[in-house]
Structure 1
């Protein structure tokens, strides 16, 4: 067996950090060197992530204090830039950032970001898998951005986004992070639904940039209404737009685009969110109603929308099987 990849994790106390930790501990070709969290330093990780009791005895460190082949950044937005500005990281170390700090560069539509002498490639494998394989640093996409883009990429690739796209999406409470807020508190969230950031969600910038990258002609408006859902995890997206494609033509277009991509699956049955929760899958269903194509796309916000996609990107960067360490069973019931 080849020598294992040595990984380090900065910001391991949150939801995405906990999921990434679980994946790395069970990855057959990864050795975990450290898990950093200043708030939890010195504590066993299983005290913060009780699901890991019996899985590991590793403790949180205050600093990223060991050389690694790949460094995952699971810090809050804005903190990754601060960390890299002060940390001394060997040039050979690959960096995969799960925050939004390197997903977007103001003033450019390029699918990469230059920062502090480092080039971060936008890490959506279904968009640019070959570029990811050659990348030194990866900016992991946002969760809503991943789910919406996977529903629209095949159309953009064929120049078929020629009408405004209307999108609604509901997400679980873990998408808001682990820090308590009024809208993530159980007593508020349970049996409740609300909108937020209507038409101005930050992930729209990623989505528009990607679509413009694929479709050289004018990209139509994307009208997005996000909802907070009364459940813990998962994202359920419904997008629709006017098109002259028949349902069978659209189905063929999507099947052709995603052929060879192991985590996007088309279904002709009515899908439900539990099919993707606890997996790295995206499930897509197409419907045609009159001249409207309706696209349902679903992911787990903590896996394909965060930690799972980060591991998928690591696999590609290091030449591993793309699905290594990600063969996960959905909750289902």
Structure 2
């Protein structure tokens, strides 16, 4: 088959950099251009220094229409503005990695209808979509942990804690992104108000009618490490653990990146991969679902590649056989 021609808007940040790394190794894709106004004319490896020797691509401030897929790696709120001022041909598929089009009420812009891009929930719709809204990183980890219960109508009040690495805050410096603040330090933030709660509740309500955002109680944490997300969700469930585990295995049996572990899970199992690994623990009528992902891959750029594969009718796992960092 012919190569999938791709373009990237906002290629200088963390998600843009991860996308470049993945696309350079993708068996069916090629990068046609990487757009960055602030770095136009500079070799890509001057910003992403690990790519020295891997690519001679140069950042550009122009946009080519001769592509199949356009990735938007812009800041939250900037994708809608970009599409307002730039006409992208209808034949070009768009995958937005920001939060602009994730909610149903915001999923339409111009003639484009964005599909929520969680493959384990919407694989069929993604496969025929022209535009996809990539899920948030915390949202991905939480949803994959709770969806099997929601699919059985068994999900009630959910009490969730989750910790994320410093790359989850983006590349722009802030007081809590500096090494001197992050090192040997953790902090709760956006307690019970995190922006991903709305998209999580919409997905859960898609499979369990009537589920609401008010039933989600989420406390996120900033961690003193670079990448990865670890989430623990506690729910009431008196069904035997073996039965619940069978629900999880059944729901994810046709989804290549979600795996259920019978032993305690940890971040290094998933860092630098597109995997989500789940673990279940039960004490009495309390069930805890642990879920862990790499926030930049399954939580962002890897999931975007997974969505591109589905949209372009190539094997879903293409370009995503990645090596975890075991030590």
TM-score by length of 1: 0.96
Return the offset for 1:65: 3.1
How big is each residue's C-alpha offset from its partner over 1:102-127, in whole Å with a ceiling of 9 and x where there is no partner?
Answer: 11144xxxxx8111221000000000
Return the offset for 1:82: 1.0
Match of 1:216 in 2: 209
Higher mean C-alpha deviation, range 305-314 or range 62-71? 62-71
Match of 2:90 in 1: 91
Unaligned runs of 5+ in 2: none
Alignment match of 1:241 (pick from 223, 235, 246): 235
Which runs of at least 4 in structure 1 moved beyond 6 Å after TM superposition?
A: none
Aligned to 1:305, the other structure's residue is in SS state helix
Return the offset for 1:309: 0.1
8 Å Cα contact 2:201/2:211 also seen in 1: no
Aligned to 2:159, the other structure's residue is in SS state strand
Higher-helix-fraction structure: 2
Return the offset for 1:66: 4.3
Are 2:307 and 1:308 equivalent residues in the alignment? no
Match of 1:101 in 2: 100
8 Å Cα contact 2:71/2:96 also seen in 1: yes
8 Å Cα contact 2:117/2:307 also seen in 1: yes
Rounded to whole Å, the distance in 2 between the matches of 1:189 and 1:159 is 40
Alignment match of 2:281 (pick from 287, 303, 311): 287
Rounded to whole Å, the distance in 1 between the matches of 2:211 and 2:58 is 51
Match of 1:181 in 2: 174
How big is each residue's C-alpha offset from its partner over 1:124-146, in whole Å with a ceiling of 9 and x where there is no partner?
Answer: 00001011101010000000000
Unaligned runs of 5+ in 1: 107-111
TM-score by length of 2: 0.98
Q: Indicate the RMSD between aligned Cα atoms, in angstroms.
A: 1.0
How big is each residue's C-alpha offset from its partner over 1:202-258, in whole Å with a ceiling of 9 and x where there is no partner?
Answer: 000000111111101444611000000000000000001111211101100100000
Equivalenced residues, count: 326
Match of 1:109 in 2: none
Rounded to whole Å, the distance in 1 between the matches of 2:205 and 2:264 is 30
